[in-house]
Amino acid sequence: MFSNSNPYQLKGMMHMPDRCPVCKADFQRESGFYSAALWTSYPISILIGAICIVLFLFVFHLSAIVSLVLLGVVLLALQPLIMRTGRSILLQQFVKYNPNRNK
């Protein structure tokens, strides 16, 4: 779905081809469409954060300050993956897969 398979190569991290290489679905949406991916990536971040806080506080018995610092590091490290996942979820809601589209 993304032009570059490495999400940690920051230059061009979110670049997508104009059309899906498999089904030829149009990835070019109206202006500002992908900014709505913030609304899909936010719950992913919340879920990851909740899981990490529970693990850090109740499983590893770390202090609250250390847990919050580690949570920040985890979320920062996962941010490119979270952004891509949010965009993929958003696009999947509006562009349905049709295997016969390119025929």
Kindly write down the DSSP assignment for every residue of 48-64, as one continuous string. HHHHHHHIIIIIS---H
Please give the share of the chain, as a percent, with pLDDT higher than 90.
Answer: 50
> Taking 70 as the threshold, does the pLDDT of residue 23 lie above it?
yes
Is residue 8 situated within a structural domain?
no
Give CA–CA dist 37/21, Å, rounded. Answer: 22
26 has which bridge partners? Answer: 19
> Taking 80 as the threshold, does the pLDDT of residue 98 lie above it?
no
Contacts of 68-71 spanning 24+ positions with Cβ under 8 A: none
Is residue 44 situated within a structural domain?
yes
Is residue 40 situated within a structural domain?
yes
Is residue 71 situated within a structural domain?
yes
Structure tokens given for 102 = 């390119």
Is residue 25 situated within a structural domain?
no
Report pLDDT digits (tens) over 86-97. 999 998 888 877
Q: Tell me which residue range forms the domain holding 38.
A: 33-94
Is residue 76 situated within a structural domain?
yes
pLDDT confidence band for 34 (50 / 70 / 90): confident
pLDDT value for 66: 98
The model's pTM: 0.83
Is residue 6 situated within a structural domain?
no
Structure tokens given for 30 = 């109206």
Structural domain total, the chain: 1
Kind and range of the H or E run holding 47: helix 37-54
Is residue 1 situated within a structural domain?
no
Report pLDDT digits (tens) over 55-95. 999 999 999 999 999 999 999 999 999 999 999 999 888 88
